[in-house]
Structure 1
Amino acid sequence: MAQLDVTSNYLIAPDPDAPRLTRKVTGKDHNGDAIDINVVEERPLTIYLNSQEIVTAMTIGDYPEYLALGFLRNQGMLADGDDVTAVQFDEELDVVVVRTASKTTFEDKLKKKTRTSGCAVGTVFGDMMEGLDGVTLPDAPLRTSWLYALSHQINRTPSLYLDAGAIHGTVLCQQDRPLVYMEDVGRHNAVDKIAGWMLSENVAAADKILYTTGRLTSEMVIKTALMGIPILVSRSGFTAWGVEIAQQIGLTLIGRMKGKRFICLSGETRLIRDADQDQIPDEPQKSARKGAL
């Protein structure tokens, strides 16, 4: 009953019981005893922009249309004025075709690129950096009471991460409410799915918060800024380049968010410290996830 109460707050929540996302595998534990565990699936998804093959990404396979839209948008291949007429997914071929009313400026100059599930390097990174030139992030407030409420809800949400591990989660939030929770083997995929959902549903970004379970890298900062979201939060730590870019563009960057503790390395002026620290419990030590890798 508690799990239903948590997931009912979301517009989209993880579905750890979905049959195509994990596979049961039998192995031996440290004592030599047989053990059955769930492991996350990986499958290739090829993204086309009209007739041009753009990239093949390794993904868990859910929300392929959102992933394709978000990837193209975050890479600058879909501009604000581009009229998307169709997003077509072929499940047998694992192909998504995004169609626009007219040819885009990227189709002739792009060659095929392959993106793996590795988390360090994105695709067409130079084009993403160029897209930051005109980015101005809104001066949205961030109450610490919202941060604590979000952390409490998200960390208790049933997910593939808790069930099987080896996966990243990203959550789109508004004030103290988590809205859309996406997971994937690469954190860039999880962010792209959220970007695709926002584009598809015409959702405004100015008052949103992006929460991630992964590291706050340069790629995560850039993608968040290109989506127009002014605040990025993580349970994990920072990279120096991620912090530097966040400071340059005025993005609020908060990491190591556990219990009542967090560290803000950029955009601290947005913070409104309204939470009573004495009322915020320390995060308890968690036992190992059952069946997780």
Structure 2
Amino acid sequence: MARIDDTSEYLIAPDPNAQRLTRAVTGTDQNGAAIALNVVEERPLTIFLNNQEIVTAMTIGDYPAYLALGFLRNQGMLHKADVITGVDYDEELETVVVRTETQTTYEDKLKKKTRTSGCAIGTVFGDMMEGLEGVTLPDVQVKTSDLYALAATINRTPSLYLEAGAIHGTVLCQGDRPLVYMEDVGRHNAVDKIAGWMLSESISADDKTLYTTGRLTSEMVIKSAMMGIPVLASRSGFTAWGVEIAQKVGLTLIGRMKGQRFVCLAGEERLIRDADPAQIADEPKKSGRKGSAA
């Protein structure tokens, strides 16, 4: 499947050639031949809310302000009524400080950390589920023709995933158009960057779809619901708890989306099947990434 060179329709698109996101390393292949590869960087980023240290996340290092804002929003530490007075990033210290008009204290909340199944060890705080109690997702219709179009475009978009692997992508979409494509070593970080961008730009979630390359876990479903996004789709599969939460909050959950195939395990009533799967080109089997001989 040919790649798409024109990413002008994206508001934010991946930049596989961006400095600091990958590093060239050398090694040998299965035959003992020298090989050179670009591998994804990992950097710590410590997030502060006012004077309080909240978490240190491992990230590729792009869009640190969006990551910090989105993480705090998805953890229920930033609310709609909060007035953000500043977001300060210090590249040398690898820290982001988010400042609000009202001082915040989350000592008790920080005691209830739960490790998740997310790559790069995502962190969910123990009372995140409580934040879903009042969540009502918009009642929208989802055309399967739009889902097929999104998958075809996103999977051909130049990205760090296609260039170096070892990374996840998440894309905010509207109808059949992908808007913002974020990548990171953990799918939760990519989602948080999108949440931070939406918060910064005051973007409504009502008519949006979130597409991810990663598994549809409980954390992914919770974050999508917390953002108010009614549809979550993925190339990958599901976890049972992720499906259960999606069913409880009324989120449409679509996985194993490859070529003409997909599976919907929650929110089927939103789907408008306006595309004949038999008319959709199936995905060819992908060959492995090639390194360049040193």
Q: TM-score, normalised by structure 2?
A: 0.94
Q: Give 3-state SS (helix, strand or coil) of 1:222's partner.
A: helix
Contact 1:58/1:115 (<8 A) preserved: no
The answer (yes or no) to whether the contact 2:49–2:97 under 8 Å persists in 1 is yes
Q: CA deviation at 1:107?
A: 5.7
Query: Matches of 1:113 and 1:255 in 2, distance apart?
Result: 28
Kept after mapping to 1: 8 A contact 2:74/2:226: yes
State the AA in 2 paired with 1:9.
E
Contact 1:69 1:196 survives alignment (8 Å):
yes
Q: Aligned partners of 2:73 and 2:257: how far apart in 1?
A: 29
1:43 corresponds to which residue?
Answer: 43
Contact 1:55 1:113 in 2 (8 A): no
Matched, 1:25 2:48: no
Q: Cα gap change, 1:116/1:166 in structure 2, threshold over 3 Å: closer, same or farther?
A: farther
Q: Secondary structure at the match of 1:179?
A: strand
Cα distance in 1 between the residues matched to 2:34 and 2:163: 18
Q: Which residue of 2 aligns with 1:4?
A: 5
Alignment match, 2:146 = 146
Counterparts in 2 of 1:248-287, with a 5 A limit?
Answer: 248-287=248-287
Structure 1 unmatched ranges of 5 or more: none
Moved more, 281-290 or 63-72: 281-290
Q: CA RMSD in A?
A: 2.1
Q: Out of 173-182 and 103-112, give the one that drifted further.
A: 103-112
Change (3 A) 1:243 1:109: closer
Contact 1:54 1:112 in 2 (8 A): no
Q: Distance in 2 between matches of 1:74 and 1:26?
A: 39
After TM superposition, the score normalised by the length of structure 1 is 0.94
Q: Which runs of 5+ in 2 are unaligned?
A: none
The one-letter amino acid of 2:194's match is I
1:286 is displaced (CA, Å) by 1.3
Judged with a 3 Å threshold, the aligned counterparts in structure 2 of structure 1 residues 193 and 277 are, in CA distance, closer, same or farther, namely same
What's the counterpart of residue 205 of structure 1? 205
- Write the letter of the residue equivalent to 2:178: P
Q: Decide whether aligned partners of structure 1 residues 290 and 283 sit closer, same or farther in structure 2, where only a CA change above 3 A counts.
A: same
Corresponding position of 1:243: 243
Counterpart contact for 1:58–1:116, Cα < 8 Å: no
Which residue of structure 2 aligns with residue 155 of structure 1? 155
| 1:187 and 2:184 correspond | no
Contact 1:170 1:213 in 2 (8 A): yes
Distance in 1 of aligned mates of 2:249 and 2:235: 22
Asked if 2 retains the 8 angstrom alpha-carbon contact of 1:117 and 1:186, the reply is no
Separation of aligned partners in 1, 2:182 and 2:243: 24
Q: Percent identity?
A: 78
Distance in 2, Cα, partners of 1:248 & 1:134: 12
| Alignment correspondent of 1:134 | 134
* 1:77 aligned residue: 77
**Matched residue count:** 291
Match of 2:165 in 1: 165
Q: Cα distance 1:117–1:190, how it changes in 2: closer, same or farther (>3 A)?
A: farther
